[in-house]
Structure 1
Amino acid sequence: MRKKTVKIIASALLLLSTSACTMLDTKVAVVEDFKLDKYLGTWHEIARLDHSFERGLSQVTATYSVEGDKVVVINKGFSEEKSAWKQAEGKAYFIGSDNIARLKVSFFGPFYGAYQVHDLIKDEQGEYLASLVIGPNNEYAWILARDKTISADVKQGFINKMTKLGIDEQDLIWVEQN
């Protein structure tokens, strides 16, 4: 009886510890004067590294809003194969200070992955125009923009930063934005 109780307690502790975990294999430098209110709204996915939950999608957008103490994330893309829109809703919370652009994001229950804003392009008024986001490691990366396209200079600047992080430009999927 005692052995069974110990197993149950150990299992419960393991479950609690993993539910609070944020997957963050590789910390990258992030924007440290981050202003969430300027990041809210809709972003168009310009490029990404391949991963199963967006595979085959075009016209991908990410929309961020605030609900209470969390950031609501709605990712949406069009599947040509299924001729239908696919949408996923997640929640995000800052890891540490809310002016440092490192958040934990969950689309799948209690498990969180890191969302690290490595670089931002701003206009003259300080509005955010383009963003380079790295996930919990360099197997996840996104180039996002307020518009459906970015300039060649911004694109090359982000590619250079990704290369320094060990991300091969050849691995990027350039998302079709009709």
Structure 2
Amino acid sequence: MKNKIRVLGSISLLSASLLIMNSCSSIPKGAMVIQDFEKDKYLGNWYEIARLDFIFEKNLNNTTAEYSLNENGTIKVVNRGYNYIKNNYVASTGKVKFAGDSKEGKLKVSFFGPFYSGYNIIGLDSDYKYALVAGKSLKYLWLLSRDKTMPQEVKEAYLKTAKDLGYNTSELIWVKHD
């Protein structure tokens, strides 16, 4: 009987934790996603110019993200990069959903089953060549470009936006593409 109570207690605790995590905001305080977002214009290949490092991209250069439509209309993302420590390429395939209105740049991405994380487009030029993407918190930030480089004035504008939101931009990893 005591084991049953412990198991039920553990299940309840896990369920409550998942509910709390999923109800938390998936965008940093003060950040605003872009409006009038056009999904079809965002599709295609993006080069990662800079990021705040985290476990899944540790030791990666030549990192890219390719967005495409699945047959059912959902969005697929394939992230690729070269691990310069292990000397091999790695790739991870995920799915992207809108976190609300499809005309807003507030998305969520999953690489692990039912678990999604915030993917918030907070900067995007009118030609969809450069993007600033915030994760669910100030631990996640990406500067993306359709090319392997980004003009200095775009970098500076995106860095100012990030700093104004509270990001520590001195911790950015500037990705090499060679």
Instruction: Place the TM-score, normalised by the shorter chain, in its bin.
Output: 0.7 to 0.9
CA distance 1:168–1:152, shift in 2 (3 Å): same
Task: Provide the C-alpha distance between the structure 1 equivalents of 2:117 and 2:161, rounded to a whole number of angstroms.
Answer: 21
For 1:2-151, what aligned pairs fall within 5 Å after superposition?
4=4, 8=8, 11=11, 15=15, 18=18, 21=22, 24=26, 26-27=28-29, 28-67=31-70, 68-122=72-126, 127-151=127-151
Gaps of 5+ in 2: none
- The count of aligned residue pairs is 174
Amino acid at match of 1:45: E
Q: Percent identity between the aligned chains?
A: 39
TM-score (norm: length of structure 1)? 0.86
Alpha-carbon deviations, 1:112-165, whole Å to 9, x = none? Answer: 11000001013xxxx300000000011100000000001110010011001101
TM-score (norm: length of structure 2)? 0.86
For residue 157 of structure 1, what is the aligned residue in structure 2? 157
CA distance 1:95–1:58, shift in 2 (3 Å): same
Cα pair 2:132 2:143 within 8 Å, conserved: yes
Displacement of 1:69 after TM fit? 4.2
After superposing on structure 2, the runs of 4+ consecutive aligned residues of structure 1 that deviate more than 4 Å are: 7-10, 12-17
Cα pair 2:61 2:176 within 8 Å, conserved: yes
Task: Provide the C-alpha distance between the structure 1 equivalents of 2:88 and 2:17, rounded to a whole number of angstroms.
Answer: 38
Q: Secondary structure at the match of 1:82?
A: coil
Cα pair 2:27 2:134 within 8 Å, conserved: no
Q: Secondary structure at the match of 2:138?
A: coil
Gaps of 5+ in 1: none
CA distance 1:50–1:13, shift in 2 (3 Å): closer
Amino acid at match of 2:119: Y
Task: Name which of structure 1's ranges 8-17 and 128-137 shifts more when overlaid on structure 2.
Answer: 8-17
By percentage of residues, which structure has more strand? 1
Task: Provide the C-alpha distance between the structure 2 equivalents of 1:91 and 1:8, rounded to a whole number of angstroms.
Answer: 32
Cα pair 1:121 1:130 within 8 Å, conserved: yes
Amino acid at match of 2:55: S
Task: Provide the C-alpha distance between the structure 1 equivalents of 2:16 and 2:78, rounded to a whole number of angstroms.
Answer: 26
